[in-house]
Amino acid sequence: MIPITGLNHAVLFVRDLERSLTFYTTVFGFEEVDRIREQMAFLRAAGSSNHHDLGLIALGSNAVVPKSGTIGLYHLAWAVPTIEALATAAQVLQQTGYARGTSDHGVSKSVYGEDPDGNGFEILWCVPRDAWGEFEHRTVTRSLNLPRELERFGERAEGRLWRERSVERGQKAEGVVRKKLIADR
């Protein structure tokens, strides 16, 4: 068995290196780390400890785009630290025209998009493990209600301790104890 610890980086084929660099530095806030001629570039996400998180290889304007549904990579998934950051991502993708949809996977909340070359990506926020509940051993894809999830998980700062509260302001949701994560004070 190979002891994998995580995915370190991805490399994408693109048509136009400058166009893709502009997209990933402007929309995602990646920093350009290095460039090899005008054919390849390496980018790092803000706060990343990796040398690079993304590599881009330019194939030129005549490069053939794989047809949808053919064998190959479906999308990359980039994590954000808070549900608020996910809401910002949804807004940025809508404003720039790169948004392609949203999903609630129970254990994560996601927005989807495509870069200028049609490479798919997912931006996700991971629900705290202690709030997975019924999704601990189940995979779902359902409609994302981002305002509701912001209400449920908002203001969650990485590294804070969270606890479950059975009743928030005396309210119950449809007779089921309502879970509300709040910061330990």
The confidence score (pLDDT) of residue 6 equals: 85
Q: Is position 133 within any domain? A: yes
182: in domain: no
Q: Tell me, what CATH number does 50's domain have?
A: 3.10.180.10
Percent share of the chain, pLDDT over 90:
74
42 plus 83 within the same structural domain: no
Q: What is the mean pLDDT of residues 25-51?
A: 96
| DSSP sequence for 71-127 | SS---EEEE-SSHHHHHHHHHHHHHHT-EEEEEE-SSEEEEEEE-TT--EEEEEEEP
Looking at the fold, whether 36 and 105 belong to one and the same domain comes out as: no
Between 24 and 169, the more confident residue is 24
Give the mean pLDDT of the chain: 84
Instruction: Read off the pTM.
Output: 0.79
What's the average model confidence in pLDDT over 37-51? 96
The parent domain of residue 139 ranges over: 73-154
pLDDT value, residue 72:
85
Domain count, the chain: 2
Mean pLDDT along residues 99-105? 97
Residue 140 domain-assigned (yes or no): yes
**Residue 163 scores a pLDDT above 60:** no
Average pLDDT over residues 25-38: 96
Q: What is the reported pLDDT for 5?
A: 86
Residues 78 and 149 in one domain: yes
Residue 148 lies in a domain: yes
Q: Kindly state whether residues 49 and 91 are assigned to the same domain.
A: no
- Shared domain for 82 and 140, answered yes or no, is yes
Q: Which positions ≥6 away from 145 have C-beta within 8 Å?
A: 104
Angle at 47 between CA 41 and CA 49, to 5 degrees: 70
Structural domain includes residue 17? yes
In a domain, 173, yes or no: no
pLDDT at 81: 94
Q: Do residues 34 and 90 share a domain? A: no
Confidence of residue 133 (pLDDT cuts 50, 70, 90): very high
Judge if 111 and 139 occupy the same domain.
yes
Angle formed at CA 67 by CA 80 and CA 139, multiple of 5 degrees: 40
